[in-house]
Structure 1
Amino acid sequence: MSKFDTALNASQIAEPPSNRFYRTVWRWHFYAGLFVIPLMLILSITGIIYLFKPQLDAAMYHQQMFVQPADVVIPYTQQVAVVEQTYPDAKVTKFTPSVASNRSAEVAIATKDERTLAVFVNPYTGKILGERDENNNLQAIARKIHGELMIGKLGDYLVELASCWGLVLLISGLYLWFPRHKLTFLGTLIPRVWSRNKRVFWRDLHAVSGFYGVLLIGFLILSGLPWTGFWGDTFARLSSHYPAQMWDNVPKSTALTGLLNQQGNQVVPWAVEQLPMPKSSTSGHEHHSGNKETSIKGIPAGKSVNLDDIVSLAKAKGAPAGFSVSFPESATGVYTVSAFPNNPAQEVTLHIDRYSGKVLADVRWQDYGLIPKAVEMGTSIHMGKYFGWSNQLLMLIAALIVILLSVSGAVMWWQRRPKKTGWLNAPPMPAHVQQWNVPVAIIAVLGIAFPLVGLSLVIVLLLDYLVLARIPVLKRIFS
């Protein structure tokens, strides 16, 4: 060992514990940033695209979505029949009545080549105005990238892992931002963007914007996690419960209502995804207790109800404009009326017997538990829906801050890396870190709350201390 190395080790050993912990957190922040930055940029850009889906849809599909109002709306069954005649080999899966007098109706169909199309129908004339591939348009692709990076379950897990590591970045970044000595406004609360020192410019831009955006970004991450595949599914199973009496004398299937939310299409609220799908009684005239005054009057026993009956019932039950009707998948399947409006307090999910027209399940905001209510409210705000344009603007600001943090973080690393070496130049690992109570507590909390990030954090720490620190070649590259 050289005299320089001996002196360096001696200085590290003499380093105060607070400094060693600071450099440990900095190292975590650095490695977390390397993994998260590319994914956060992807999530932010695709999130912005989907955030403005209403405006983009209206601009891109104006001819299909808007019609000239008239006095008489033709029957809903006839609107669907026109689509069935035009697409004889396709299967109708969902119908959405026009949300306003100047809007077209939408009929979702599944084609033989496994496409899902939204066919737009003029509700006054029955004329087909056009179609939209629900899995192959700008907003749909943005949402699919946002949710699973276009690579299925693996992408879903990577998005979840990146989101959880994003929380690690926020916590560690807030610790690194907090002044260790004297609080100064410049560089702490006000970025020195006028500085000629490029490293000061980018450091302040990164640190100060991160401080002001920490709550918004934290909200984005936490409100998005319930929709992830591992943590979100587990969270839903633990938090979504409904009274047993809701199912008195109602036959249930093993399928869950969440199956309607396939391929990224939002059909039913998150709060009802764990709700069992009831079955239609094939006799067509059985009476179920607890469902008085929920059937459609005047339907002969044994006769199936039609779409006109279902839409009339949905309106009578107070479903808000924009509700959709999902068609039965089998002989014992049910019609599902679902409303996913901007205000989650107006959400409605109805499962209706396809033969008798009886409402087998009627789930609304007041039936949700505290956690599902919080998730639904968070989702509505996350998507920019709850309080209109100002909500969209707020979420846009949050996404832009994430982009700014990602870009500035990458620039800061590029500025401090060793030139022409290819090394990462991570903050050096402090020697002889003995105060492990705080890091262990952080790992424990994160591991319990977010198992994927806890597991990955343990793996990273073991690699850092058992592999990278002991193999000279790797130590030079990663340090």
Structure 2
Amino acid sequence: MTPPFSSGIDTEPALETGKNLLYRAVWRWHFYAGLFVIPFLLMLATTGIIYLFKPQLDAAIYRPLLFVQPTAETVSYTQQVETVKQAYPEAAVTRVFPAVAANRSTEVQILTGDGENWMVFVNPHTGQILGDRNEARTLSAIALKLHGELMIGRWGDYLIELAACWGLVLLLSGLYLWLPRGRFRWAGTLIPRLGNPDGRVFWRDLHAVPGFYGLLLVGFLILTGLPWTGFWGATFANVWARFPDQKWQNVPQSTVLTGTLNQHGEHSVPWAAEMLPMPQSGHHAHSGAIAETHATVDLDQIIAIAQVEGISPGFNISLPQGETGVYTVAAPASNPTQEVTMHIDQYSGEVLAQVGWQDYGWVPKAVSMGIAIHMGLYFGLPNQLLMLLACLITILLCVSGAVMWWKRRPSGRLGAPARSPIKVPLAIVAVLGLAFPLLGFSLVLILVLDFLVVARIPALRRTLS
């Protein structure tokens, strides 16, 4: 019998041929992957749409905080920060976002005594504080927290990573199920049959045909999101996001990495620079002795250095933490080719380390470009709309897949496709498991449960079938 999810292509009425057994085996893996992945993909696509349009949403929701009336007069950034310190004496200033245009406010990030990050908005022309907001409670921040870790920390990050990896299994197995298995027909293969909205064919085509057209887009979203994950992404960065040792000659280094500046889901420092060791301020290049003077350069001098180095507007500055801390200027630009990460001595203003696009290897370049497109930043509104399409296709695939399962499931049972002796799909998943360790671990766990539990309990086996 032809499975309900089969393509709209004629099949040989025959018998349990090798192709039919392989199809059934792939279908079974596709089914189980879908049951696990669908809730996560729905959440990722929904929250992704919200974060994708963060610039427009922020401009609409926080317009009085973000926009100012430009004048010829300006107040120094040092004075603006001092005003914030006076208004929030119990908080520590951690990062400054200089105004990106004459009609935009300066954003000063502070860390309160109870460990919360707030953003204070200052009119750069008058020095007046326009207001503040809790950075953890904005719509985009909540969406990002769900998107990255389900708002439950590291374990949520691992679950998201696992779901993304199984999403790749879902895409590859879905492509195989879409392939024509008999006489080719346009309808059901490249054109959906939408005649009967209540029928299984309608939902099958609404799942399979957009899935084929959106395969590369959805796959791109998954692959470009993985570098930010806590397990695979951190390992991947540790291998590939490295720079020549010559960049660190005569520069005292701490054990702290630049990536520690990316906290609470923030992407203030580019991905490619996260594994850079932070230099230390107040050291002579050769002797390593701590500088005797504690005179420091001010924020306006740091901004002037960044401008002299050609860093385009949109950069942020992390302030030194402690006597050996450094100023870190980072430009995670919408154009990855303009990404820059610069560490500056807080006493002398010397640039201790600087890396940018020209220093990246081909892998960091590909990852940085992928991340920018993933977030809808690279080529403006068309980029946002393209990624919106990918998210909408993901939602459609999830909804249509769930409806298909609901329509075909036997009463009181899960309705999983029958087992098949063909092991090729298992081998493919195993190869993916080697590339993505969390996927491999979950695969082993599933096989153990299937062999030791499901196969030995008839009632459970009937419920799942």
Question: How high is the TM-score relative to the length of structure 1?
Answer: 0.91
TM-superposition CA deviations, 1:392-418 (whole Å, max 9, x none):
000000000000000001100110112
C-alpha distance in 1 between matches for 2:179 and 2:158: 32
Instruction: State the distance in 1 between where 2:390 and 2:231 align.
Output: 25
Partner letter of residue 344 of structure 1? Answer: P
After TM superposition, give the deviation of residue 308 of structure 1 in Å: 1.1
Is the contact made by 1:157 and 1:228 (CA closer than 8 Å) also made in structure 2?
Answer: yes
Count of aligned residue pairs for this structure pair = 448
Residue number in structure 2 paired with 1:378: 370
Q: 1:459: how far off?
A: 2.2
Q: For 1:439 and 1:100, locate their aligned partners in 2 and report how far apart those are by CA, in whole Å.
A: 54
Provide TM-score, normalisation by structure 2.
0.94
Using the alignment, how far apart are the partners of 1:469 and 1:205 within structure 2? 34
Which has the larger displacement, 15-24 or 40-49?
A: 15-24
1:297 counterpart residue number: none
For 1:228 and 1:21, the matched residues in 2 are separated by 33
Distance 1:278 1:306 in 2: 18
1:21 and 2:22 equivalent?
Answer: yes
The answer on whether the counterparts of 1:49 and 1:142 sit within 8 Å (CA) in structure 2 is yes
Specify the alignment match of 2:4 in structure 1. Answer: none
What is the letter of the counterpart of residue 454 of structure 1? G
Q: Which amino acid letter does the alignment assign opposite residue 96 of structure 1?
A: F
Distance apart, 1:197 and its partner CA:
5.4
Amino acid at match of 2:464: F
Q: Write out aligned runs for 1:198-217 (5 A).
A: 198-217=199-218
Q: Equivalent residue for 2:139?
A: 138
Secondary structure of the structure 1 residue equivalent to 2:341 = strand
Partner of 1:412: 404
CA–CA distance in 2 between the matches of 1:439 and 1:31? 13
Q: Which residue of 1 aligns with 2:259?
A: 258
| Alpha-carbon distance in 1 for matches of 2:438, 2:164 | 10
- Tell me, yes or no, if structure 1 residue 455 matches structure 2 residue 441: yes
Q: Matches of 1:443 and 1:213 in 2, distance apart?
A: 21
More deviation in 468-477 or 406-415? 468-477
Contact 2:64 2:130 (C-alpha < 8 Å) held by counterparts? yes
Which amino acid in the other structure matches residue 281 of structure 1?
A: G
Q: 1:345-356 counterparts in 2 under 5 A?
A: 345-356=337-348
Q: CA deviation at 1:17?
A: 2.3
Question: Aligned residue for 2:101?
Answer: 100
Q: Which residue of 1 aligns with 2:431?
A: 445
Partner of residue 429 from structure 1, selected from 415, 419, 433:
419
**Where in structure 1 are there 5+ consecutive unaligned residues?**
1-13, 290-299
Shift of 1:54: 0.2
Task: Give the stretch that moved more between structures: 109-118 or 390-399.
Answer: 109-118
Counterpart AA for 1:251: P
Deviation at 1:439, TM superposition (A): 3.2
Superposed CA RMSD: 1.6
- The answer to whether the Cα contact below 8 Å between 1:302 and 1:356 also exists between their aligned partners in 2 is no
Which structure 2 residues correspond to residues 163-312 of structure 1 after superposition, within 5 A?
163-195=164-196, 198-281=199-282, 286-287=284-285, 302-312=294-304
Counterpart amino acid of 1:448? L
- Find the aligned partners of 1:72 and 1:245 in 2 and give their Cα distance: 44
Identity of aligned residues (%): 62
Distance in 1 between the 2:21 and 2:456 partners? 19
CA offset at residue 461 of structure 1?
Answer: 2.9
CA contact (8 A) 2:430 2:443 kept: no
Instruction: Provide the rounded CA distance (Å) in 1 between the counterparts of 2:265 and 2:97.
Output: 17
Aligned equivalent of 1:320: 312
Cα distance in 1 for residues equivalent to 2:336 and 2:408? 48
Q: CA deviation at 1:467?
A: 2.8
Aligned partners of 1:403, 1:34: CA distance in 2, in Å? 14
Unaligned runs of 5+ in 2: 1-14
Partner of 1:402: 394
State which drifts further: 458-467 or 234-243: 458-467
